[in-house]
């Protein structure tokens, strides 16, 4: 499974990138707005830090306008992937992008039917939102399992990005369920590193070392 970071914050991206584990970045309009910086400049800087797919989302709701909006984004860097909402217009845009060999990430996927349509339209990636399904009392992980089963069974090469990740077990469970990628918030990356027994182990080693080496 590949690990992406779900943020537009450059410090967070730089830090996790230094760990040597980062293979891509996803952003969305809310994450970009939080940074209060120019959208294209931010995307350009992200692409200069991470060598992997960088999802930049269009905000237009009409297919032709999405295509227009994407022109300025794809020119930024060859790694830019256009993030498109899972709507009828989004599907039309996905089809147009795939004809131009522009990669797309169809976002806001909440059912296997939506994932299948996105794949058929030519999406390079689909993003099922685990956390938001869990929030309304569904089991987000079941959706990853279902999409993964359908894609495997029908040899569909669209990659599944487990999105809306809320905790470290979401990442490992999504890996076991067949997601190709998890896009992970910075706080969850930090959580993944930590284990109380690791901290305790370090303390104990240091104490023993101090006692022995005088
Ligand atoms: C996916 O690409 C989205 O940016 C993201 O995972 C949304 O997650 P949220 O439910 O935490 O906003």
Q: Which ligand 1 atom is the nearest neighbour of the CA of 166?
A: 11
Average pLDDT, the chain: 97
110-147 tens-digit pLDDT: 999 999 999 999 999 999 999 999 999 999 999 999 99
Tally the domains of the chain. Answer: 1
Catalytic residue among 40, 83, 194, 207: 83
DSSP H helices, 36-129, are: 39-49, 63-74, 88-99, 112-121
Give dist(CA 121, CA 55) in Å, integer. 18
CA of 109 to the centre of ligand 1 (A): 11
CA of 166 to the centre of ligand 1 (A): 9
What pLDDT is stored for residue 214 in this prediction?
A: 64
Pairing of strands 24-26, 2-6: parallel
- Domain residue limits at 192: 2-212
57-115 tens-digit pLDDT: 999 999 999 999 999 999 999 999 999 999 999 999 999 999 999 999 999 999 999 99
Mutate to test the pocket of ligand 1, among 129, 159, 166 (most ligand atoms within 8 A of CB): 129
Tokens of 132: 């938001």
Tokens of 178: 């067949």
DSSP H helices, the chain, are: 10-18, 29-35, 39-49, 63-74, 88-99, 112-121, 130-135, 140-153, 168-177, 186-193, 196-212
**Is 95 a residue of the active site?**
no
CA of 121 to the centre of ligand 1 (A): 22
Determine if residue 101 is left, alpha or beta; phi over 0 gives left, psi from -120 to 50 gives alpha, anything else beta: left
Nearest-CA residue for ligand 1 atom 10 is: 164
| CATH number of 9's domain | 3.20.20.70
What pLDDT is stored for residue 116 in this prediction?
A: 98
Q: What's the sign of the alpha-carbon dihedral 192, 8, 162, 123? A: negative
- Does the CB atom of residue 164 touch ligand 1 within 6 A? yes
In 3D space, the residue among 144, 97, 89 whose CA is nearest the CA of residue 122 turns out to be 97
């Amino acid at each position: 499974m590949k690990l992406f970071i779900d943020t537009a914050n450059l410090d967070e991206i730089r830090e996790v990138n230094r760990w040597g584990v980062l293979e891509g970045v996803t952003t969305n309009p809310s994450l970009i707005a939080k940074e209060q910086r120019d959208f294209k400049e931010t995307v350009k800087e992200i692409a200069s830090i991470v060598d992997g797919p960088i999802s930049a989302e269009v905000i237009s709701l009409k297919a032709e306008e999405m295509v227009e909006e994407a022109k300025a984004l794809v020119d930024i860097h060859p790694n830019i992937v256009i993030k498109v909402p899972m709507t009828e217009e989004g599907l039309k845009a996905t089809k147009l992008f795939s004809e131009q060999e522009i990669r797309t990430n169809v976002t806001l996927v909440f059912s296997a039917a939506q994932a299948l349509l996105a794949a058929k339209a030519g999406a390079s990636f689909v993003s099922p939102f685990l956390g938001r399904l869990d929030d309304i009392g569904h089991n987000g992980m079941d959706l990853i399992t279902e999409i993964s089963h359908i894609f495997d069974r029908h040899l569909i090469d669209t990659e599944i990005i487990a999105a809306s990740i809320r905790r470290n077990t979401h990442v490992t469970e999504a890996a076991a369920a067949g997601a190709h990628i998890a896009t992970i918030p910075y706080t969850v990356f930090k959580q993944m590193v930590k284990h109380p027994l690791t901290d305790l182990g370090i303390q104990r080693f240091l104490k023993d070392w101090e006692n022995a080496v005088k």
